Structure 1
Amino acid sequence: MADADVRRLLDLHRVEAVPARYARGVDRRDWDRVRACFDPEGEIVGTFGRGRIAEYLPALIARVEGFGATMHLIGSQEADVDGDRATSLAYGLARHFDDAEGRVERLVVGVEYDDELERRGMDGWVIVRRIVRTLWERRADDLVPRR
């Protein structure tokens, strides 16, 4: 395998790791980890409006910390790398619980993270633009079987 092929595979792996790193940061309430996934000037268009990470993050934090626990799972993903720029499209499943033990589920949301990324340094990739699309959601009342 040529060096260029190996480099491309490594780049794809690193790009695909960014949404997972973001998800783990949210679930651990590690806001520095979440912030590090983004270029400080990057734009987010999502559930809580539109803005730079510094503008968007406070609304995300307030919402997430209103739950006892969350669990974000990153599923199907497509990524492409073109030099120092990349794209990633990933499905996510976000579970939200009232309690820290995860016994009382309040909300489940299917999302799509549509990211544009840029290389920072030799191995780092950051999101410069993210569009979050809510595909569907189920609230606690919908999770209980109806008779």
Structure 2
Amino acid sequence: MDPTIQSFVDREAIRDCVARLARGEDRRSADLIRSCWWPEAMFDYGVYNGDFEAYLAWVVPGAEAIKDTQHVLGQTYIELDGAHAKAETHVISYHRVDMGAENGGEHDTCIGGRYLDTFEKREGEWRIADRVMLYDWEQDWGQAADWSTGVMGYPFTAEHFPGRAKGDFSEQWFARGAK
């Protein structure tokens, strides 16, 4: 393959891996998460670090106190070097956290930061070999909104609209195919 075209293909595969991982984290899907990391990979999130199995046990099923998450990815800067790559991806992550009744109940929080990923390409597949999370800011938005009544004064018409950590409706939606 032409080197320029191969570079585009490799960069897109890396971006796809980062997006799949965020999707897997938000749905607490061990299979999806596992498809993004090499088995011997390491991670350091500043508040927790270790090998891939420790990461997976930390994220799936996830802390019961964290009811919902959403990871919104920004730009990914990639430096390719053969079968190795470094990538920095900006992320804003939302978390609905149950702080306990004595601490105000559920809170909506948001973190802005960057993933520093070391990728390796093996047998044509890019996966993460190492990840470091950098934190740029955090904001506790206070007591969480009550989604049980809908949004902006409008009630939901079905139970599948709010939340996603477990039993996400999009899984069923994708399973129906493109037709």
TM-score above 0.5: yes
Percent of pairs with identical residues:
27
Q: Return the offset for 1:66.
A: 2.8
Alignment: residue pair count: 138
Question: Deviations for 1:36-67, whole angstroms, at most 9, x for unmatched residues?
Answer: 21111111011442211102222233545532
Structure 1 counterpart SS, 2:57: helix
The answer to which structure has the higher helix fraction is: 1
Structure 1 stretches lacking a partner, 5+ long: none
| 36-45 vs 60-69, greater mean Cα deviation | 60-69
Task: Determine if the alignment matches structure 1 residue 127 to structure 2 residue 125.
Answer: no
Structure 1 counterpart of 2:111, one-letter code = V
Equivalence map 1:15-94=2 (5 Å): 15-61=14-60, 63-94=62-93
Pairwise CA distance, 1:28: 1.5
Corresponding position of 2:116: 114
Deviation, structure 1 residue 18: 1.6
Q: TM-score, normalised by structure 2?
A: 0.69
C-alpha spacing 1:68/1:83, structure 2 compared with 1 (3 Å): same
- Runs (4 or more) in structure 1 with deviation over 6 Å come to none
- Letter of the aligned partner of 2:3 in structure 1? A
Task: Determine which structure has greater relative contact order: mean sequence separation of CA pairs < 8 Å that are 6+ residues apart, divided by chain length.
Answer: 1
Q: RMSD value over aligned CA atoms?
A: 2.4
Give yes or no for contact 2:28–2:62 (8 Å, CA) kept in 1: no
- For the pair shown, the structure with the greater C-alpha radius of gyration is 2
Q: TM-score normalised to the size of structure 1?
A: 0.82
Q: Secondary structure at the match of 2:21?
A: helix
Greater fraction of residues in strand: 1
Distance verdict in 2 for CA 1:58–1:47, change over 3 Å? farther
